[in-house]
Structure 1
Amino acid sequence: MGQTASQPTPSLEPKLPPGHPPIGAAPPPGCPMHASSPPAQCPVPHAPSASASTSAAQCPVAHDKLNPLNQMPTLAQSPAPNQRTPLPLERTVSSIPRPPSPEPDAPGRWEYPSPQQFYNALVRKGWETPEESVESMVEIHNFLNEAAWGEVLKWEARNPTAELDKIELSRFMGKPGQLSPKARVHLLAAYFFPSRFSAEPPFDRHDWVVRRPWSGEEVRYVIDYYSAPPEPDGSPVFSLDVRPALDSVGSIKERIVVAAEGAWRDWKKEEKDRH
């Protein structure tokens, strides 16, 4: 699971938790709730269905029916056409706080889609996916989002006045077809320094808007999802590069400070290794 010298410098390299069932097909094509076309280097082999358009797929749901908090339609819990295997309908409540909802009895945290909703999202996007793999794919999806939230909290904890228990994920959007500026820089660096940087682009990207209730400030975070070489036992490994977007002077300063701290640690380590 260790980072290699040729990889970008993501802030987290999560591995699936011990005891996780074997997975034949790792993560879905990016986040299927958002992806409209195959992301680069998706770890899961997929074949577009016969009904999928040869051009860039468009969301078939009218925009006025999308949830403005996540740009997702309401996904059905009913089986998809030609579905052979029943899938669970239970939804897992995440650890990620969300804004208050007008719906009665709505949880104060974001809910992950059920395996049936997840499968319906894949079908809606025109992907043929083994039904028996969906539950494991949902587990990976949820696991990566929990890991991403943990990285967000690490950034937020750098502020001594932060009230971490009050921070909430206000809204988010998947952008699998849009490379972040940092990802573009890494790909350019890989062209000139192939031994130090990976030429593999992220297989997904999310933009998360985090709200700090004590000040009313909102901060956008960019998350690039990378696949990494699997463990010897075949367990999939992923890298998440989570950082505040360069939308404000405060975020720019924080990024510079963190980059400087990382460079200092690397220099100290090289000095120690030389001696």
Structure 2
Amino acid sequence: SEGGSGGGCPVDHTNGAKRPVYNVYNQQINPENMMPYNPNNEPYPDQNAPISQDRVSSNIPKGGTEGTWLYPSPQMFYNACKRKGKAEGFDPTSAETVVAIHNNMNERTWMQVCEWEKRHPDQQGVSAPKLNRFCGKPDDLSPKAYLKSLIGYPEPFDRHDWYVLRGEQEVRYVIDYYYDEQMRNTSDKPPSLMSTAPSNILVDARPAVDSFSTFVDRIVMFPSRALAAMQ
């Protein structure tokens, strides 16, 4: 199953220890509001081309607020890659396209989450589901991804755990991101933030089996999701 808290989130809840908390962009964040302490939106010292510092509002409702999550600017994304040592070969002039693809990936993730949440309209109360917090786990294979890898499927290139507010209840979602090998060379900028046009990234979002309710959801939704995957 995909139950349990698992490892990967850089938060130690044992012995009262307080370690720094980072988001999926490797920015240190305030665990009280999950926002960066000091978002770096300035050009990197060795940067050889200007990068947009404009930020885009997502369509993903943010827990505890009436607003939505705000995506990092291309400059912030580039800076995060530099800090993580993952900017080798990263042309600054492509940052805007890379971020647009990344943002669209998140929007498509939220669309899938909302499809799952439609099974629980009676628990939403007066508000729609909201993304409360999230955690990047790129080195932690989900049980589903691990089992698929045993029978020859490629491993995902990234994993997130999203914590979604369903009324007063927080529900954990596991998201695996795969490259679509048939469209590996497709790296064009999406025509819009909400575009559902074919992409070179496949999203597999589902509720973690942390409760009997989510176990039932997974069983009930399996036939339709399996059919969609074959189309």
- Do the aligned partners of residues 71 and 125 (structure 1) sit closer, same or farther apart at CA in structure 2, a change above 3 Å counting? farther
Residue 215 of structure 2, aligned match among 252, 265, 272: 252
Following the alignment from structure 2 to structure 1, what is the Cα–Cα distance between the partners of residues 215 and 81?
A: 37
- Do the aligned partners of residues 70 and 175 (structure 1) sit closer, same or farther apart at CA in structure 2, a change above 3 Å counting? farther
- Do the aligned partners of residues 136 and 185 (structure 1) sit closer, same or farther apart at CA in structure 2, a change above 3 Å counting? same
The residue number in structure 2 matching 1:227 is: 179
Size of the aligned set, in residue pairs, is 193
The residue number in structure 2 matching 1:130 is: 91
User: What is the identity, as a one-letter code, of the residue corresponding to 1:63?
Assistant: P
Gaps of 5+ in 2: 1-7, 9-18, 22-27, 188-198
The residue number in structure 2 matching 1:158 is: 119
* Identical positions, percent: 42
Moved over 6 A (4+): none
Q: Give how far 1:189 is off.
A: 2.3
SS in 1 for 2:202: strand
Deviation string for 1:108-157 (max 9, x for gaps)? 11000001111110111112221111110000110000000000000001
Residue 238 of structure 1, aligned match among 190, 197, 201: 201
- Larger-Rg structure: 1
Q: Give how far 1:188 is off.
A: 1.3
Indicate whether 1:208 and 2:185 are aligned: no
Following the alignment from structure 2 to structure 1, what is the Cα–Cα distance between the partners of residues 123 and 176?
A: 25
Gaps of 5+ in 1: 1-33, 35-61, 102-106, 191-197, 270-275
Following the alignment from structure 2 to structure 1, what is the Cα–Cα distance between the partners of residues 132 and 180?
A: 30
Deviation string for 1:28-84 (max 9, x for gaps)? xxxxxx9xxxxxxxxxxxxxxxxxxxxxxxxxxx71652325586632111111111
CA RMSD of aligned residues (A): 2.9
- Do the aligned partners of residues 140 and 251 (structure 1) sit closer, same or farther apart at CA in structure 2, a change above 3 Å counting? same
User: What is the identity, as a one-letter code, of the residue corresponding to 1:96?
Assistant: I
| The 10-residue stretch of structure 1 (158-167 or 129-138) with the greater mean CA deviation from structure 2 | 158-167
What are the residue-to-residue correspondences of 1:76-225 with 2, within 5 Å? 76-100=40-64, 108-127=67-86, 128=88, 129-163=90-124, 166-190=128-152, 198=153, 200-213=154-167, 216-225=168-177
Q: Is the 8 A contact 2:64 2:132 kept in 1?
A: no
Following the alignment from structure 1 to structure 2, what is the Cα–Cα distance between the partners of residues 71 and 81?
A: 24
- Do the aligned partners of residues 211 and 78 (structure 1) sit closer, same or farther apart at CA in structure 2, a change above 3 Å counting? same
User: What is the identity, as a one-letter code, of the residue corresponding to 1:183?
Assistant: A
